[in-house]
């Protein structure tokens, strides 16, 4: 279902896609910056888990930040990674940077998630739930990145200054 289970043909196609300027530009066109946020926000299709989905070739879809990773570090690097974790707790984020998207394992990722969810004001504890939150923020980012910034400010007002991860 995801890039984690890419077959050899899929991996080859993904390698060609991340090297293709047109495909990379198509991916980039679905991202925006939001004032006050270090994240690179996805505005394209999203999965049930709130992750971006990117059709890198006809009939071939990948989790968008995995495409971003493969673009930066190569498809072979991606294949060796169990899971990519979001240090910024923003499943829409496409920024390949140690403060945002990092190589992790299922065990480690789950452990970090459980810890950060307990932090007051953590986006992981958003009562909207990760899927609805991602969809709403994605929709706002599509309309106007300033609306995302306003939503983040609203949450900071609700939960206090500890919501600093975004
Ligand atoms: Zn981020």
18-32, 69-83, 111-125: segment of lowest average pLDDT: 111-125
- Tell me the CA–centroid distance for residue 89 and ligand 1, in Å: 7
* 113 has pLDDT over 90: no
- Check: pTM over 0.85? Answer yes or no: yes
Q: For residue 49, report the distance from its CA to the centre of ligand 1, in Å.
A: 16
CB atoms within 10 A of CB 26: 15
Q: Is residue 38 part of a domain?
A: yes
Provide the domain count of the chain: 1
Distance 99 CA to ligand 1 centre (A): 7
Owning domain of residue 20: 3-159
The residue that leads in pLDDT, 139 or 162, is: 139
Q: 53-70 burial string, b = 16+ CB within 10 Å, else e?
A: bbbbeeeebbbbbbbbbb
Q: Find the 145 Cα to ligand 1 centroid distance in Å.
A: 14
144-156 pLDDT, tens digit per residue, is: 999 999 988 887 7
Flag whether 85 is in a domain: yes
Residue 100 C-alpha to ligand 1 middle, in angstroms? 4
Q: In this structure, is residue 32 part of a structural domain?
A: yes
């Amino acid at each position: 279902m995801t890039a984690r289970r890419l077959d050899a043909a899929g991996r080859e196609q993904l390698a060609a896609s991340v090297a293709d300027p047109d495909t990379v530009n198509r991916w980039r066109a679905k991202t925006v910056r939001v004032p006050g946020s270090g994240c690179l926000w996805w505005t394209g299709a999203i999965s049930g888990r709130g992750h971006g989905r990117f059709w890198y070739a006809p009939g071939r879809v990948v989790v968008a930040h995995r495409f971003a990773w493969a673009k930066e570090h190569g498809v072979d690097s991606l294949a060796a990674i169990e899971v990519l974790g979001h240090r910024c707790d923003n499943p829409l984020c496409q920024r390949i940077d140690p403060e945002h998207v990092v190589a992790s394992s299922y065990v480690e990722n789950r452990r970090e998630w459980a810890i950060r969810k307990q932090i007051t004001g953590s986006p992981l504890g958003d009562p909207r739930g990760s899927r609805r939150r991602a969809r709403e923020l994605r929709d706002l980012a599509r309309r106007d990145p300033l609306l995302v910034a306003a939503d983040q400010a609203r949450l900071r007002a609700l939960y206090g200054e500890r919501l600093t991860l975004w």
